[in-house]
């Protein structure tokens, strides 16, 4: 693809590989992998890091009480490493969003979802059900995201 780059990410243990794509024309550093994205992906993979990330009060505050989550939503996904890890972990529905700048941003998300699901033996039928890509810019009505999450 002329304006979408392909990359490989590997977790700290070196055992889990994720392919991610970036739209080279995305503004606002959307064309780079953010450290926080990699850091969250790593934290989602390890139970002790998950506990630390969600905090001791997560449960009483109505936060994550089950793993994998039934429905997850990533804002400003970009490379969408956390969403890819959530698909691998078995989250029911993963909604990936990014703001509307160009079509490539969403193509890149679909490409990542396709490649990684194939690698993890998630059928195309299952992927279409579980991995949802939606455009979302701050301030827009969130109703469509709630619908996308089922």
Residues lying near another protein in the complex (CB under 8 A) are found at 34, 36-37, 40, 62, 64-66, 69-76, 78, 82-83, 86, 91, 95, 138, 142, 145-146, 149
What minimum distance in Å lies between the beta carbon of 78 and another protein?
A: 7
What is the rounded CA–CA span in Å between residue 71 and residue 98? 17
Buried/exposed 80-91: b ≥16 CB within 10 Å, e otherwise: bbbbbbbbbeeb
Q: Could you tell me if 7 and 80 are in contact, meaning their C-beta atoms sit under 8 angstroms apart? A: no
β 93-98/131-135 pair status: parallel
What minimum distance in Å lies between the beta carbon of 28 and another protein?
A: 9
Residue recorded with tokens 């089950």: 66
Name the residue nearer to another protein (CB basis): 4 or 82: 82
What minimum distance in Å lies between the beta carbon of 82 and another protein?
A: 5
Residue 2, C-beta contacts closer than 8 angstroms, at least 6 positions apart: none
Name the residue nearer to another protein (CB basis): 124 or 140: 140
What minimum distance in Å lies between the beta carbon of 36 and another protein?
A: 4
Name the residue nearer to another protein (CB basis): 17 or 142: 142
Name the residue nearer to another protein (CB basis): 91 or 122: 91
What minimum distance in Å lies between the beta carbon of 70 and another protein?
A: 5
Crossing angle of the two packed helices 81-89 and 103-119, in degrees rounded to 10: 30
Q: Residue 51 is inside which H or E element, if any?
A: helix 47-54
Name the residue nearer to another protein (CB basis): 33 or 123: 33
């Amino acid at each position: 693809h002329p304006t979408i780059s392909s990359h490989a990410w590997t977790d700290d243990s070196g055992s889990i590989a994720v392919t991610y794509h970036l739209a080279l024309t995305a503004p606002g550093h959307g064309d780079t992998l953010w450290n926080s994205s990699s850091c969250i992906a790593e934290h989602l993979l390890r139970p002790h890091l998950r506990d630390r990330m969600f905090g001791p009060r997560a449960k009483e505050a109505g936060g994550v009480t089950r793993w994998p989550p039934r429905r997850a939503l990533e804002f400003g996904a970009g490379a969408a490493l956390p969403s890819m890890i959530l698909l691998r972990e078995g989250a029911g529905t993963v909604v990936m969003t990014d703001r509307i700048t160009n079509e490539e941003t969403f193509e890149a998300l679909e490409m990542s979802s396709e490649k990684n699901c194939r690698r993890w033996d998630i059928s195309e039928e299952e992927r279409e059900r579980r991995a949802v890509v939606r455009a979302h810019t701050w301030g827009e009505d969130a109703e469509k995201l709630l619908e996308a999450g089922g």
